[in-house]
Every structure is written in C-alpha cells, then in structure tokens.
Amino acid sequence: MMHCCAPSGWHPLAPAPRAKSGVLIDTGEELLAAALGDESVLARAAQSIEPFIVPYDQLARVDGWAVWLGHPPVPDGFPLLPAPGHLMWDEPEVALAAAAAVAADYSARRGADSAQAMVEILVRESPVAIVVPGELAAGLRALLGEVGELGVPVLERPVDVDKSLSSVPSFARRREAHRREIGRLHDPALSFQHFVTSGRIGGDARSTFVLHNEGERDNLSVTGVLGGPIGIEVGVGGPGITVEATEALERQAAKMPSFLNGVMSRVASDSLEIGWRLDAEPSPMELGEVFRIWLKALHGVELVDVRIVLAPPHERSALLTEMNSRAERFKRRRAATIAGDED
C-alpha cells in the first residue's frame, strides 16, 4: 500500500530524504481520504500504487505535467507526468490514481494539513493536469469528478492541446514566475530539497522578519552584505490585503527563500533562518526578488516592497534596530486587530 501520510517528524521545510534526482512519494494518503472520504475509489486506488520517484526539481524548468487520458501516442512536446509507463498506459483508472497521488503528495510537502488546505494549494499551483482527448468511458466519469474536486485541472476534448494547457491557471502562474530570471532556478517545488547546510544567516535575536500591508512602492532595496543578522521587511499592497490577511501571507512568504535552488528557510526567533548548500550561497538580491516574484505569482499581490538590512556579525546597526522596532509594533497591532482589541 502506498503511504500518503507524512512520515513521523516530517516537516515541509525538512522534507523526506531524496532518492536519486527526485523524492519518494510516501505522503498525501490522509489528505486524499480527508478530501474524498475513506470509501473513495480514487483514494483507495492511489493508496494501492507502489511508491515511485517524482523528480519535483523538474518543475523549476516546466509549467507543469499532464496525464493523457487516451490512447498513445501523445502529441509532440506533451509534458507527460514522469511516472512509470505501466501506471500511465495500462488502465486510465490507474493513470488518474497516479495523478491524484502526485497532487496530494505535492500539497503535503507544500504544507497542507487539511483537505481544504490541499484544495487551496492545488487550485493555486497544481503541478499536474488531466487531458481527456476524446470520449470518456462512463465508468471513468466519477473518478474524473473526484480528481477535479481535489483542485487538479481537467481539460476535456481540447481543440488545441498546447493552447489549453498553457491557459491552465496553475501552469500559467509557474510560467510567468519562471520568466523572471534572478540568477538561479526558483520554484515552490525546490523547497522539497534535502541537503546538508554549509552556511546560514538569521534566526537570532537581532534578526527580524515581518510582512505588513503598508508597502510604499514596488521595489527591492538591500543594505549591507551577508554575514551576520538579517532584517527582512516585506510591505505588500493591493485590494483585500487587510492587517488580518497579512498573518497568513507572512507564513507563506517565510517559505519563499527555500524556493531558490540550494536554499532553505524557516521561522526562528521572530526572524528567518536561511541556510544554503555548499557553493549555493544566495545573494541578497536573489533573496529579495524571490519574495517579489512568488507573492505576485501565487497570491496575486500587486505591490511588493522588500527591504533587506544586513548587519555585521558583532556590530550594532541603527537600521536593523529601527526595522526590529517597526516589526514589533506592526505585529502587536496585528495581534490586537485579530483579537478584536484594537481601539
């Protein structure tokens, strides 16, 4: 049986060990059951698939993958889901189950902890879509409906396959973000990487991280060089971004440095601890741009004002002290607003 739940101690910022160039699918089972019910034929089929390697790092170079729910051959250039051939071609029911397993595993590794969270993630950034090129057997209709309920895009009898795939919202978001070259590969799926950290910054009492809704301009500014404490202030602007809404956005933004190839990030001591693989030290500009690119791509934020202050390891920084004070004031106001205590 395929184990779709996260292994004990697993955390989205410290994912399961990698095998070869991919990650062993062994998460997502509980998410599928929660979303579709324990008696779901699709959920049971996905659980019965033997584990296989998914090269998630490929998603930094492609818009997404697709399952061809018809007879081969597929059109030239079709972005076929990289799963074993017997899963893709023996029976269409098995191909749908493999797609559901990959989608659920992806959402679990992106931090989904409920059926609702899984659907939200897949609607926003599903790495897989289903293409039905012709008539659909009656027995597959219910399974296809369940796949759609998960948030996986389904394209039935598209006139132009390439054009239809390019218009899938989650694929279009990836494509638009990837067009922004910042010096290295970047994608949410790269946050699944597991590596030995050779350097790190932040995560200490002098460092700070905050996302607020008082952004002044669509810009990035950096002061200082890597080496000691780091202050990151992300100001966002756009319709519907209330003080309360910044709490969830801040949690999402905290993961974004790990979208950079060879970089990880986690919240520590009211700041971000950012680490990197040997020979993969990020530049401050790369750190700043990854917030700007993916807050816009994934969350539709119109204005992203990123300010980064880097202080020497053992010296005071008036700019960083000021940034810390601003962050503390905003977080206190946000907590009061959420609690309904703001005057």
Question: CA-to-CA distance for 50 and 111, rounded, in angstroms?
Answer: 23
**In this predicted structure, what is the pLDDT of residue 132?**
96
For the chain, 343 residues long, the average pLDDT of each consecutive 10-residue run is 31 31 62 90 91 95 96 92 94 95 96 93 97 88 94 96 96 97 96 94 94 95 90 94 96 98 94 95 97 97 97 87 95 94 65
**In this predicted structure, what is the pLDDT of residue 269?**
84
**In this predicted structure, what is the pLDDT of residue 10?**
23
Residue 102: exposure state from Cβ atoms within 10 A (0-12, 13-18, ≥19): buried
**In this predicted structure, what is the pLDDT of residue 1?**
33
Residue 313: exposure state from Cβ atoms within 10 A (0-12, 13-18, ≥19): exposed
DSSP, res 150: T
Question: CA-to-CA distance for 223 and 161, rounded, in angstroms?
Answer: 47
**In this predicted structure, what is the pLDDT of residue 342?**
61
